[in-house]
Amino acid sequence: MSDVNELHRRWCIADGHADSLMWNRDLCVQSKEGHVDFPRLHQAGVKLQCFTLVTRGFPFVGGFPLFAAWRGWPREARSSEWARALWQIDQLEAFCHRSEGRVRVTLSGAALEENLAEGRLSAILGVEGGHALEGQVARIAELHRRGVRFMGLTHLSNNDLGGSSFPMMGNRGLTPLGREVVEEMTRVGMSVDVAHASERTLEELFASPSVRFFSSHTGVRGAGGGWRNLSDASLRCIADRGGVVGIILAPVYLGGDTLEDVARHIEHALQVMGEEGVGIGSDHDGMVALPKGMRDVTDLPRLTEVLLRCHPEARVERILGGNFRRFFRETLGG
């Protein structure tokens, strides 16, 4: 077996989801806090990292402004969901500038390939919940101009766009505003992240022939685990349309707390989707624990070791980043 760290240096390791920006840590500095920063991503061999903008908290407790105050966000950044989104974009842009060319917000497939060739980390921006728009569809174009390339319509609760997969949310579908938002996202070239969508919202998204969708971080229902995991039917729809499902690392959604449990979800997704549809969507810094043996992103090679016990290197390379590389090369735009 090849040295795993050497494989990580050579491969395009990619992660579909990290909530690191909401913690207001300096991502240019290696920290013992949280799961992700630029130095630790480099140490782990990660070449593509999706960073999501979180603007609303738990469904029954409107506590995100309190969280942001605790983490030292400036008052003006906490004033509204839209302001929270823009401030996090500003933060990532500032971190990239201070990285002295080692990290860039990545806006196109060509830029992604250029970054890989030059040893740069590609940071891809997404939004976790379309409530950040505050009902203004025109803001989608502004987000796209600022570098956002995907958005989930909902997060941990229903909103004015559609239904969330969170329990007791009523399995709602897309609203008229939600359909308008999806149409505008398609127009500007923004993909839909279905990780937190209700079954009805999923069905309505899948029925649209022009929408590009994927799941940045989730488990799979056929392997057990939590309420938000995707069904086999949903996995097939995503794979049939060229999408990728990032398998989450959080034990609460895996039905177990070991790296073998992550592998179990990956195995099921491979059986249903084929090897071109499966990736990693860690949910790093997302207020969830990691499996035993993982402290932060630098322990990702331990998962690689588990996967290499059962799969050839070429397949593991696809799971650990090749598939997300292909998806974003196709969907980021020219």
Task: Tell me the per-residue pLDDT of 100-115, one tens digit each, with 9 for 90 and over.
Answer: 999 999 999 999 999 9
Mean pLDDT score, 176-201 = 97
- Rounded CA separation 129/165 (Å): 12
Q: What is the mean pLDDT of residues 47-56?
A: 97
d(CA 44, CA 235): 28
Average pLDDT over residues 6-18: 97
Is residue 301's pLDDT more than 60? Answer: yes
Contact 204, 174 (CB under 8 A): yes
Mean predicted confidence (pLDDT) in 45-55:
98
Looking at residue 228, what is its pLDDT?
A: 86
Provide φ and ψ at 103, rounded to 5°.
Answer: -140, 135
Q: Strand pairing partners for 246?
A: 279
pLDDT given at position 334: 72
pTM of the shown model: 0.96
Q: Is 152 helix (H, G, I), strand (E, B) or coil?
A: strand
pLDDT of residue 63: 83
List own/partner pairs for 183-188 with CB under 8 A and 24 or more apart.
Answer: 184/137, 184/140, 184/141, 185/140, 185/151, 185/211, 186/210, 186/211, 186/212, 188/140, 188/141, 188/144
pLDDT 10s digits, 71-101: 999 999 999 999 999 999 999 999 999 999 9
Q: Kindly state the tokens that stand for 206.
A: 């899948």
pLDDT in tens, 241-277: 999 999 999 999 999 999 999 999 999 999 999 999 9
Buried b (16+ CB within 10 A) or exposed e, 248-268: bbbbebbebbebebbbbbbbb
194/205 Cα distance (integer angstroms): 9
Q: When comparing pLDDT for 58 and 137, which is higher?
A: 137
User: Of residues 98 and 2, which shows the higher confidence score?
Assistant: 98
In this predicted structure, what is the pLDDT of residue 1? Answer: 45
pLDDT at position 196 is 95
Instruction: Give the rounded percent of residues in the chain with a pLDDT score beyond 70.
Output: 98
Domains of the chain (ranges; CATH) run 4-331 (3.20.20.140)
Q: Where are the alpha helices (DSSP H) in the chain?
A: 4-10, 38-44, 64-70, 81-98, 109-117, 139-145, 176-188, 199-206, 232-240, 251-254, 259-273, 300-308, 313-317, 323-331
**Which residue from 50, 33, 26, 30 is spatially nearest to 282, judged by alpha carbons?**
50
Q: Across the chain, what does the average pLDDT equal?
A: 95
Nearest to 196 by CA among 294, 23, 56, 78: 56
Percent of the chain scored above 90 by pLDDT?
92
Q: What is the pLDDT of residue 60?
A: 54
**Can you tell me the mean pLDDT for 301-313?**
97
User: DSSP string of 202-233?
Assistant: HHHHHT-TT--EEEEEE-BGGG---TTPBPHH
